[in-house]
Chains A and B, each alone.
Chain A
Amino acid sequence: MSAEYIFPHRHILGLAEMADVDIDFILKTAESFKEISQRSIKKVPTLRGKTVINLFLEPSTRTRLSFEVAAKRMSADTFNISGAGSSAAKGETMVDTARNLAAMNPDCIIIRHSCSGSPGLLARHIPAPVINAGDGTHEHPSQALLDLMTVREHKGRLAGLKVAIIGDITHSRVAHSNIIGFSRMGARVRVAGPATLMPPGIAAMGAECCSSVQEAVSGADVVMALRVQKERQRDPLLPSLREYAIFYGITPEVMAHARPDAIIMHPGPINRGVELDPALADGPHSVILDQVTNGVAVRMALLYLIMGGE
Chain B
Amino acid sequence: MSVDSSILLENARLLDPASGRDETGYVLVREGRIAAVAAGSPAGVELPAELPRMDAGGCWLTPGLIDIHVHLREPGDEHKETVASGTAAAAAGGLTAVACMPNTRPVNDCAAVTCQIMAAAATASARVYPVGSISAGLKGEVLAPFGEMRRAGVRAVSDDGRPVVNSQLMRRALEYAGDHDLLVISHAEEESLSRDGVMNEGEIATRLGLRGIPAVAEEIMIYRDLALAEYTGRPVHIAHVSTAGAVELLRRAKERGVRVTAETAPHYFTLTEEAVGLYDTRAKMNPPLRTAADVAAIRRGLADGTLDAIATDHAPHSSLEKDQEFDLAANGIIGLESALPLALALVREGVLSPRRLVELLTTNPAAILGVPGGRLVVGEPADLTIVDPEHRFTFQAPDLHSRSHNSPFLDLEMQGRAVLTMMNGAVTWRLPK
Binding site for B on A (CB under 8 A): 16, 93-95, 113-118, 120-121, 135-139, 170, 173, 176, 199-202, 204-205
Interface stretch, picked from B206-214, B308-316, B335-343, is B206-214
Please name the residue on chain B nearest to A121 by beta carbon: B325
Which residues on the B side are within 8 Å of A200 (C-beta)? 201-203, 205-206, 212
B279 to chain A, nearest CB (A): 3
Binary contact readout B305-325 vs A (1 if CB under 8 angstroms, 0 otherwise): 000000000000000000111
Which of B201, B204, B323, B326 meets A117, CB within 8 Å? B326
Binary contact readout B193-230 vs A (1 if CB under 8 angstroms, 0 otherwise): 00000000111111111111000000000000000000
Q: Is B279 touching A116 in the complex (CB atoms < 8 A)? A: yes
Which of A94, A113, A199 meets B206, CB within 8 Å? A199
Is the contact region of chain B dominated by helix, strand, or loop, or is it mixed? Answer: loop
Q: Is A94 touching B325 in the complex (CB atoms < 8 A)? A: yes
B278 close to chain A: CB less than 8 A: yes
Which residues on the A side are within 8 Å of B323 (C-beta)? 93, 95
B148 close to chain A: CB less than 8 A: no
Q: Is B209 touching A173 in the complex (CB atoms < 8 A)? A: yes
Which residues on the A side are within 8 Å of B326 (C-beta)? 115-117, 121
Complex alpha-carbon distance, A110 and B416, angstroms? 47
Q: Is B212 touching A121 in the complex (CB atoms < 8 A)? A: no
Complex alpha-carbon distance, A173 and B207, angstroms? 10
Which residues on the B side are within 8 Å of A113 (C-beta)? 325
Given the interface contacts A200-B206, A200-B212, A201-B206, does A121 sit within 8 Å of B201 by beta carbon?
no
Q: Is A138 touching B209 in the complex (CB atoms < 8 A)? A: yes
Binding site for A on B (CB under 8 A): 201-212, 278-279, 323-328
Q: Which of B206, B212, B326 has the most CB of A within 10 A?
A: B206
Given the interface contacts A16-B207, A117-B209, A136-B327, does A201 sit within 8 Å of B279 by beta carbon?
no
Which of B201, B206, B278, B325 meets A115, CB within 8 Å? B325
Which residues on the A side are within 8 Å of B324 (C-beta)? 93-95, 121
Which residues on the B side are within 8 Å of A205 (C-beta)? 206-207
Q: Is B203 touching A121 in the complex (CB atoms < 8 A)? A: no
Complex alpha-carbon distance, A38 and B323, angstroms? 45
Which residues on the A side are within 8 Å of B211 (C-beta)? 137
Would you mind naming 18 contact pairs between A and B with Cβ atoms under 8 Å apart? Answer: A16-B207, A95-B323, A113-B325, A116-B209, A116-B326, A117-B326, A118-B325, A121-B326, A136-B209, A138-B208, A138-B209, A138-B210, A170-B206, A173-B209, A176-B207, A200-B201, A202-B206, A205-B207
A150 to chain B, nearest CB (A): 23
Given the interface contacts A95-B324, A121-B279, A200-B201, does A116 sit within 8 Å of B210 by beta carbon?
yes
B320 to chain A, nearest CB (A): 8
Which residues on the A side are within 8 Å of B209 (C-beta)? 116-117, 135-139, 173, 176
Complex alpha-carbon distance, A170 and B210, angstroms? 10
Please name the residue on chain A nearest to B201 by beta carbon: A200
Q: Is A201 touching B327 in the complex (CB atoms < 8 A)? A: no
Closest 3 CB pairs of A and B: A201-B203, A138-B209, A117-B279
Please name the residue on chain A nearest to B323 by beta carbon: A95
Please name the residue on chain B nearest to A138 by beta carbon: B209
Q: Is B202 touching A201 in the complex (CB atoms < 8 A)? A: yes
Q: Which of B202, B324, B325 has the most CB of A within 10 A?
A: B325
Which residues on the B side are within 8 Å of A95 (C-beta)? 323-324
Complex alpha-carbon distance, A137 and B208, angstroms? 8
Which residues on the A side are within 8 Å of B278 (C-beta)? 117, 120
B197 to chain A, nearest CB (A): 12
Complex alpha-carbon distance, A94 and B205, angstroms? 22
**Beyond A120-B278, A200-B203, 19 additional pairs, beta carbon < 8 A:** A95-B324, A113-B325, A115-B328, A116-B209, A116-B279, A116-B326, A117-B209, A117-B326, A118-B325, A121-B324, A135-B209, A136-B209, A137-B209, A137-B210, A137-B211, A176-B209, A199-B205, A199-B206, A201-B207
